[in-house]
Structure formats: structure tokens, C-alpha cells
Structure 1
């Protein structure tokens, strides 16, 4: 494994330079909300590299353990492909990747391919041997230092994500209906769960909806029933509803949040309906980790609700629903 180890160490050194120069100094990826997905990918890759630094130079995995090694490389390939897929969207506001970073990625890809070929050549047939983890004759302590460094960078990037302010959720749609029609339908709390996937039931605690009105809401997720409360902070007829919401239920990831609905009349008489909201999570550090995956899903969930609203209630199956780019909502052309 001497050649594979040398290639791995070279990849590690160049990868560290890539992170420091292009991700941290120039790109400031952990500080840009539009780059959050890319940073999550980099965090996962950091832990995969840490495992490779420990295993490849120091241990031979045979029998059943061979497939664990194969899985490690499969995960590495999936992460690499996902990173390539995400980068154009993540770096769009920065004008894409620089020529120098492209060159770095090409060199790293060639080295990774060469290392993978060498590992396959050295381990081919090991699945047929007895299941065991055997220490190699030349134990390499430097690899553990590099593994520690890779894992440390991944942890630091993860902490930067968890302590940064998450981006709000923005969704908007243009409907072939008047503001009055959209307002009356979307403000009907009895029919709200028909189109909004986020709620199973809404109950107003006052007959007239106005600033200060309280409501109860529930959402059933499998066998679990999530309960919460909401209050209208500002209610301007056919213009805007601003609200706050919270849940005292420990089962709920969302502790409290704020949001608004906006109704805008377009020059042709149609209505542009939009929402923006954000929230705080409970469960401390664990909750913030879960929210890294939950918030993008909630963004998509809300977009799906707006598509459902347009398709099923305003006869607009092809309506364009816009989401979010960075911290700002996307704009209609």
C-alpha cells in the first residue's frame, strides 16, 4: 500500500490547501447561506477522508471487512458526485469556481482515481479471505495526524454551520385570481390544511381574525401529533398577515418562529402570494444538527404546498413556484 498511501497523503495536502485558500479565504463558504449544502457535503467528506487516512496505510481488511472498505469508497464517490452537482448553484453568486480552483479539482480527481486503482489492485480478492482486520507491517503514525486534521476541519466547519444564522424560508407564486379571491381562500382556517402540507388542523380561538388573534394548530406525522400555538402580530386586510408561532411540546423540533404572508396585486390584476418565515429549534446542539437537513426539506415542503394551492384550488397546474436563493427569495423573470 506504499503507492496508495503516498497518493493519499498528496491528496490530503492538496485538499487542505483547497479548503484553506478557496473555501475559507476566498470563498468564505461557511459564512454564505447559499453555500450551506456544499459545506455539509464537505463536512461529510472530511470524515470519510479521516477514515481513509486511518485504514489505508495501516490495516488490511479481509473477508466481511473488505466490504466495509468498499462501502467507504462508494460513499466517497457519492459525496464527490454530489459536490460537483451542487457547486454550480452554490458558487453562482461568486461567478462560479475560479480557474485555479477548477485546476485544483482536476488534479485532485486524477490523484483520487490513481489511488483508487492502486487500492483495488492491492486488495483484489481479499473478500475471499477470512474476516479480519490485520495491522500492516509498516504502521504509519503520520496518517493518524492527517486523520485527526481532516476530522478537526470537518468538525470546525460543522460548528460554523450550527452557530451561523440559518436562512429564512421564502416561497412565492403568481395566481390567476384577484387579491380578494386569494385572500379569502387562504385566510379560511377550515380549508387551510387542504392545501398547506404543514398543518393537519387549525382552530381559531376568536371568531374574528385580527391583530392579536390566537390559534391552535396540529400536525400529524405518522403516529405522532405535534401541537402548537400561533398569534397574529399584524393583520392588514388583503395586504399582509404577520404572525408568530410556538410549541411547548418537547416532541416538536420547532420551538418558536415568526413569519408573514404577503398579497400583492400585479398590473394585470393577478395576485402574487408569498410567504417568508424562520424559526428556532429545541434540543440544543442535536436540534441544530437535525435542522441542517430539516430546513431544506421544510423549504421544499412549503413550495409543494404552494404548488398544491395553485393546482387544486386556482386551476393553475403549471404555475411557477419560486423558492429561495441564499437569504433572498428568487424573483420572477
Structure 2
């Protein structure tokens, strides 16, 4: 099995788990965007939902190199920073709900591992010259399945991002006040 195939498998598994966690637990069941003590957590999830489609596009939809590859790495690092911030926020955010359930902890653990694996594998698949800023923007085409997965997840991610930000502005009086000055 190639690095490209393996990376796609981990990306799809990650996306399935993240969809259940984000849509079912965060938005439908707990309605974090409506809970005053959870609105900062929802804001962090919203920023992650903004970066995920772009990162997926840059890493999987096409075989980018050079500046666009480095942009994908920067977006990945920003996402990692947001996820760390989210971990520290969740204790305060979920206290009134009795904390995170064991299932949610397990899902978060699995998602962190899956993200690390799919990112590492797809980046390890890049040839050394892809990392040069003076190199080509686009390398050889990925296999059709990689491009299909990359474009599909990117296109599905865009309405998820729109939903997250719509929910911020639906409750903007509360959520924007939760940001420390």
C-alpha cells in the first residue's frame, strides 16, 4: 500500500469521526453555540472548520509544491495550535454538562492520531524538490481516488464552515463577548 493510499484512508476515517463529533455532538446534541460557557469552544471549532477545507484542498485535491505546500503546512500548524487551545477550553466549556463523555474523549484522541497520520503520510509522499520555494507550484497528478477524496472533502467542508459561522452570528451578541479583550 502506498503512502498516498494510506493517507487517504486515514483522512476519510478522520473526516467521518470529525463529522459525527462536530455535527452530532457539538451542534445538534449539546448546541455549544447557544451555551454561554461553550461559545468560545464553538468559535475555536469554527476557525478549524475554516482551515480544514483549504488544508485538505492543498494536501489532497492537487499535488501542490512550493509556496502552496508550505501554506498547507502553515495551515496545519495553525490548526494544531487551535486544537491545543480547544483542549484547554473544553474543561471550562463543558463543566455545566458534566464534562466530556468517554466517547467524545475517545473520538478526540482518535481524530488527533488520524490527523497526525494522514498529514505525515501525505507530506512524506512529497519528493524533496517539492519543498523548494523556487520549484513548480504543481507536481504530477495524484491518483484519481486521491483527487476525488480531496475535492469531495473540500467541497463538503465549505458548507460546514458556513454553518459554523452562521451559528456564531446567530448568537453573536454572546459569542463575540466571550473573547477576552
TM-score, structure 1 as length reference = 0.48
Match of 1:157 among 164, 171, 176: 164
Aligned to 1:26: 29
Distance in 1, matches of 2:95 and 2:151, equals: 36
Greater relative CO, 1 or 2 (CA 8 Å, sep 6+): 2
Equivalent in the alignment of 1:239: none
* Among 94, 113, 127, the residue aligned to 1:91: 94
Of 152, 156, 163, 1:145 maps to 152
The answer on 1:106 being equivalent to 2:113 is no
Distance 1:5 1:13 in 2: 12
State the shift of 1:116 in Å: 2.4
1:127 corresponds to: 131
Aligned positions of 1:36-115 closer than 5 A = 36-115=39-118
Deviation at 1:57, TM superposition (A): 2.2
**DSSP-derived class of the 2:64 partner:** strand
* CA–CA distance in structure 2, aligned partners of residues 22 and 62 of structure 1: 36
C-alpha displacement at 1:135, in angstroms? 5.8
Q: Which secondary structure does the structure 2 equivalent of 1:133 belong to?
A: coil
- Compared CA separation, residues 143 and 29, structure 1 to 2 (3 A): same
Q: CA 1:104/1:74 → structure 2, altered by over 3 Å: closer, same or farther? A: same
Partner in structure 2 of residue 234 of structure 1: none
Displacement of 1:70? 1.4
Larger radius of gyration between Structure 1 and Structure 2: 1
Please state how far the C-alpha of 1:165 moved relative to its aligned partner.
5.9
Counterpart secondary structure, 1:132: coil
Q: 1 CA distance for matches of 2:66 and 2:27? A: 41
Note if contact 1:61-1:69 (Cα within 8 Å) is conserved in structure 2: no
- Report how many aligned residue pairs link the two structures: 174
Give me the TM-score of the superposition, normalised by structure 2. 0.84
Q: Give the drift of 1:134.
A: 3.6
Gaps of 5+ in 2: none
Query: Aligned-pair distance for 1:142?
Result: 4.1
In 2, the alpha carbon distance for the partners of 1:135 and 1:31 equals 46
Aligned to 1:184: none
The runs of 5 or more residues in structure 1 that have no matched partner are: 168-290, 301-333
- Displaced runs of 4 or more, over 3 A: none
Give the structure with the higher percent helix: 2
Cα deviation for residue 162 of structure 1 reads 0.6
- Following superposition, the deviation at residue 124 of structure 1 comes to 5.7
Residues 137 and 76 of structure 1, relative CA distance in 2, 3 Å threshold? same
For the 8 Å contact 2:41–2:89, the answer to whether it is kept is yes
**Structure 2 counterparts to residues 289-304 of structure 1, below 5 A:** 292=176, 295-296=177-178, 300=181
Residues 241-282 of structure 1: per-residue CA shift (max 9 Å, x gap):
xxxxxxxxxxxxxxxxxxxxxxxxxxxxxxxxxxxxxxxxxx
User: Whose strand fraction is larger, Structure 1's or Structure 2's?
Assistant: 1
**Deviates most, 94-103 or 47-56:** 47-56
Deviation of 1:138 after TM superposition, in Å, equals: 2.2
